[in-house]
Chains A and B, each alone.
Chain A
């Protein structure tokens, strides 16, 4: 039996998907697959086209390598455009003169950018944003341009604008309508989006109809209907798409009044042996300009050709994307015609806009828009598609994740038929059965089901589903510390507490997986042992666990020297002590700088000088500042009521007391604190792991703040506390954190991940809901009672001092350390200076 010929015109994302679907479904190999591709390379990922600017290559974007076509017996005519369809004799002719007979023809010609017929649009420097060649042209032109405008403030236009900004150009967006993304968002959402985009340095022009492109041969500007002009030397047109239906028109297939090849629910055109899929197909007067419906169409046509039965019934146009670093999502029907109610949450400070459209009775979700934070997208989309009943207070669904609201809805509530990944049409049932048959990690799951490999919008939901299903199956989610311990940090902490084990070797032998340990578990166990037993970190049995900072009780710097930070509790220091610091710095040639925590850092100390430096500091009454440890660093303070005319209470004394109470305590991460003597908050207590602010009646305690990469304001935990209660609460907070946090997890992240958030913390610390307060109090008292200055201990022990050398066989310093002078102080020599030596 001879094979039937199936020709696909167009090798874009949908055309390629169709070929893949055919290979999968044509189990008896009854069909010859032939495709024409006018571009010089096979189908690539146009959805992520702008990543070409951030370093992805055309190979990275390629969907299937050219070998895939040949290995699977697909004939691909690259750089050869189909130019004629002869329906009479069932033949396709190409620009290069090839003629191929078909039994079935599939049009997957896609769309082309719509270029409005504005005078001057043909000038040099005007681009469209569609193919890799377009992008290459833009990159080339950007080298001689300085200012770019994008015509069209839709989804693709904003991506193009970001691309021009990334190319180093001043970037403008020109939109004809009165808001950005007019098809996806409403007025208020558009306004939020405009604010966000302008805050990223792009300029947005609304209500602007372009009347002419100015310039001689090259673009020099544009003029608008309202008489204004804009000087630019590059223009990108992104004013919508037009279906590529010219071949279909020429051969007499029915097309829509505004373009597009008319198809029925089988996706057949007016000629039953010709199908149309993707952006060229017009179904029910709608062109589906997203990849997910296109993929769905490809699958439906492949099913029918191979003898199956499938129908296209329209598609959900919900979408979530990241535009210029901002989440933008819309789902369901946002132009609800039926009676409905709106729930709107706007936060102009954070730059978020969220709108839920519910049925009149508030029980069902019809649609919605999320701008600035679309974390809830997956959940909300599922609730819409599956008509899941809304919780009593639906606004909970769009409150920020850190507000302590608990999601009223998890993956368990979804039916198995729920579509989780709309790009690849993967249902909850597909994902669950893949997990059950062994795809128990996200990469494995993606590989096996393809879920999350399209736009990526469903990845959080897939992850959620994975974790949930694993739990249901009784499988642990892998949270092992490392290859040496199949426990979490919390698990190991509890083992050490319960067993009293006090060495790494015993712990590894009795509760580990053998081996030597590594740079992950050694310091983590070192920290746990210190938190529980308050052993000396450089005691012989602990020293091998400490990374260089804890091993030498100083902070390593880029050139292998160390910095020295004596403790200055509350930032209060006498002139005599200041002089000692100055003298030590001079004697050992150290660079000095004031730290953010109100103390003084001495840099450039050689490892073999550390003991002598500390001998002098300790003789003058200083103690270790633990700047090298995951431990309490500083308690910053203002001068409080003692000096300040606004001060309400003595913040300095409290800060000194608090710092002295918690100094030396080892924790999963470093801890900082501050005390402010009035509401002006000069000590910045709300940016600390725990912060204290004076009130008229006592002290307010704030927990879980920090600066750093992702700043977080501390949450108000309790108000108007007397000092005794305040200290009790801080004791319990710190011990509970030490007991339950993950390794290297800051209090802020820990608090965010704590189920029930600050409310739960109040239950544990104030109401003793877990019945552990007595234990926490005792543990903290043990740590406070067994405090020791690690440096005092070190310089009194000749065995320990022997380790503070650079060479094991010489007293010399490291001869390769070189310093240069800058602003009268030393700094590490840079590479150029080192090279000259």
Chain B
């Protein structure tokens, strides 16, 4: 793992077939929790922080995915705040903070995430 911890390197997080295509999954990299989603949009895979910035709990991977006017989003299961999985921006209100998003790609049957 050590070479992956340095900046801008792609970290393999597993075989893409191990990630359900219809459900969010939370993965642990070092001490961070990252939510991985697959849904139709500009890209196919999306990665965001798992922490909901509203209630500060590690629950986003368990929310419902969807879209709002074509913008792919995740809705927090606790209080139904929606966030763009593209930009991380909160789509429900302007008081809730943004999500950190991570570059993610599929390569040769593997999922890789840029994690710094």
Contact = CB atoms under 8 A, between A and B. Distances in A.
A803 B61 CA distance: 12
B59 interface: yes
Contact of B75 (A519, A806, A831): A519
Contacts of A806: 26, 58
A666 interface: no
Contacts of B26: 806-808
Interface stretch (A75-83, A118-126, A543-551): A543-551
Interface string B54-79: 01111100111111111011010110
Most interface-central of B13, B28, B75 (chain A CB within 10 A): B28
B66 A522 contact: yes
B55 to A, nearest CB: 7
Contact of B70 (A515, A607, A816): A515
A817 B56 CA distance: 11
A809 B63 contact: no
A516 interface: yes
Contacts of B56: 831, 834
A523 B69 contact: no
A543 B59 contact: no
Contacts of A540: 22
A255 to B, nearest CB: 54
Contact of A560 (B19, B27, B40, B59): B59
A814 interface: yes
B98 interface: no
Contact of A808 (B36, B59, B73): B36
Interface string B14-32: 1000111011011110000
A812 interface: yes
Contacts of B112: none
Given A556-B59, A808-B14, A810-B28, A516 B78 contact: no
Nearest to A541: B22
A560 B64 contact: no
A258 interface: no
A613 B53 CA distance: 30
A519 B14 contact: no
Contacts of B70: 515
Nearest to A812: B28
B59 A548 contact: yes
A544 B23 contact: yes
Contacts of A810: 27-28
User: Interface residue tally of chain A, by bracket?
Assistant: 20 to 34
Interface string A549-581: 101100010111000000000000000000000
A137 interface: no
B110 interface: no
Given A556-B78, A808-B36, A516 B23 contact: no
Contact of B57 (A515, A518, A544, A559): A559
B23 A803 contact: yes
B80 interface: yes
Contacts of A817: 58
Contacts of A549: 77
A517 interface: yes
A483 interface: yes
B72 A516 contact: yes
A548 B65 CA distance: 11
A812 B58 CA distance: 14
A608 to B, nearest CB: 11
Contacts of B33: 807, 814, 816
A623 to B, nearest CB: 24
Contacts of A807: 26-28, 33
Contacts of B75: 518-519
Interface centre among A521, A812, A816, A834 (most CB of B within 10 A): A816
Contacts of A551: 23, 62
Interface in A793-837: 803, 806-810, 812, 814, 816-817, 831, 834
B90 to A, nearest CB: 14
Contacts of A544: 22-23, 64-65
Interface in A603-644: 607
Interface in A686-715: none
Contact of B66 (A516, A548, A560, A607): A516
B78 A808 contact: no
Given A483-B69, A548-B77, A809 B28 contact: yes
A547 B66 contact: no
A814 B66 CA distance: 25
Nearest to A516: B67
B64 A523 contact: yes
- The CB with the most chain A CB atoms within 10 A, among B55, B67, B82, is that of B67
Contacts of A543: 22-23
Contacts of B65: 516, 544
Contacts of A812: 28
B82 A519 contact: yes
B96 to A, nearest CB: 15
A523 B80 CA distance: 13
Given A808-B36, A809-B13, A814-B58, A519 B66 contact: yes
Interface of B: 13-14, 18-20, 22-23, 25-28, 33, 36, 39-41, 55-59, 62-70, 72-73, 75, 77-78, 80, 82
15 contacts: A515-B70, A518-B73, A519-B75, A519-B82, A543-B22, A544-B64, A547-B77, A803-B23, A806-B26, A808-B25, A808-B27, A809-B14, A809-B27, A810-B27, A812-B28
